[in-house]
Amino acid sequence: MIAADNVGVKVEVSTLVELSLDKTVNNFNLSPFRPNEKLNPIVAKKFYERLPLPNDDNIQALASFVDSTLYWKRACGGGGSVGNANEHGGCHKRQFFETNLQSILITSTDSDSLSEEDIAKKFKALSDFIHTLCLSDIQHSFPLEVVCSSLTNLQHINLKQVVGLKDRLPAAIESSPYLTTLIITESLISDDDDVELIATKLADSQTLLYLDLSNNKMTANGVQHICEKLLSSADACLTHLDLSGNPLESKGAILLGQTLSNNDSLISLSLRLCMIRDEGGIELFESLSRNTSLNHINLSANRLGSCSTETLLKVLETKEIEDCALESVILTSNLIPDDDDLMYRLREYKGCFIDVRDQCNSSQ
């Protein structure tokens, strides 16, 4: 509101509504309320425009009482891209909390004196809006299992470069009954101890569909636990498995091949950079003659040569008139020779897509 003083100079004078808004915004943390229920739409819009962005002091009140798309778009960075929100169920509030969860968690759990009850209480108001937990570069002291048990709608756990959490991971998995996706990468996961603990807990899950343990230190021993506990039972439900970047070698690939012969749940398998060579490749490809579910397999950069790829073609040509689920085979950066008709037959095969680009010339 503009007014003139006694010498004719125009000055801004706050209206009673604006003064009330400022006071209400300042007191929101102490006396939170639902603006949409208490304010008319015009006043509510001004309230959301003045309301401070989320911080350590107001995060609980905002999570519990503010549902305005207008406000959470602003909290997400001003624009509140619809495309980004669509990755979070179309909800900007969920987009904010899931995108900023790592910093919220680190800040909230930084105090050594914070009890498990305190942590659970802090995240109670946030749990309705968090379905995905993404963390990187955390150490053994981080209370992962407490955080997971506090996020009651958790469906996706994505951990990268986490160290010393093997004692916490099983409890975290157990406390996440709706888990559909588990990603643990670049975290030095090894064989018997780590993988067996993880696979044992996951074996009780009837919801897990996607498992990614890529770029760890798992060998054939770890593969055996996954095969026995997650792929071999009649009620196996895992559909996507990524073990890329682990030194599985031929033995690990052979174990997977033997399991795939009787598995009807897995539709995607990635074994890129696993050093499986021809011996392992032959077993995997032979298993396809009995497998009816696998759609995609990635075996790039595994030093596969003519023996294994010839087996692949024989299996595919035999199954071509049958119900073969296979849609793509990625064989890039292997050792398939380019000096005979094998490469031509692979490129010209029409039953599914076979990618044979960027073959190496060095001998096996």
Select the highest-mean-pLDDT range: 56-65, 187-196, 354-363.
Answer: 56-65
Lookup: tokens for 32: 């939170």
Query: For residue 159, is it within any domain?
Result: no
Residue that terminates a domain, selected from 67, 94, 111:
67
Classify residue 256 by its DSSP letter: H
Query: For residue 204, is it within any domain?
Result: no
Query: For residue 216, is it within any domain?
Result: no
Q: Is the pLDDT of residue 354 over 70?
A: yes
* pLDDT band at residue 72 using 50, 70 and 90 as cut-offs: very high
- CB-based contacts of 132, cutoff 8 Å, min separation 6: 88, 98, 101, 154, 155, 156, 157, 158
Domain that holds residue 46: 1-67
CATH number assigned to the domain comprising residue 308 = 3.80.10.10
What sections of the chain are H helices per DSSP? 16-26, 35-38, 41-50, 59-65, 69-75, 82-86, 92-99, 101-108, 116-124, 144-150, 169-174, 196-203, 220-226, 249-260, 277-287, 306-319, 341-348
**Rounded to 5°, angle at Cα 115 from 110 and 116:** 100
Average pLDDT over residues 202-211: 91
Number of domains, the chain: 2
Residue that terminates a domain, selected from 46, 67, 88:
67
Q: Is the pLDDT of residue 293 over 90?
A: yes
Ramachandran class of 172: left when φ > 0, alpha when ψ lies in -120 to 50, beta otherwise? alpha
* pLDDT band at residue 3 using 50, 70 and 90 as cut-offs: very low
Query: For residue 331, is it within any domain?
Result: yes
Query: For residue 294, is it within any domain?
Result: yes
* Among the ranges given (48-62, 81-95, 126-140, 226-240), the one the predictor scored with the smallest mean pLDDT: 81-95
Average pLDDT over residues 175-189: 93
Query: For residue 173, is it within any domain?
Result: no
* pLDDT band at residue 113 using 50, 70 and 90 as cut-offs: low
119 contacts 147 by C-beta, under 8 angstroms: yes
Residue that terminates a domain, selected from 67, 95, 125:
67
Query: For residue 231, is it within any domain?
Result: no
* pLDDT band at residue 155 using 50, 70 and 90 as cut-offs: very high
Query: For residue 9, is it within any domain?
Result: yes
Answer whether 0.75 is exceeded by the pTM.
Answer: yes
Select the highest-mean-pLDDT range: 80-94, 122-136, 190-204, 292-306.
Answer: 292-306
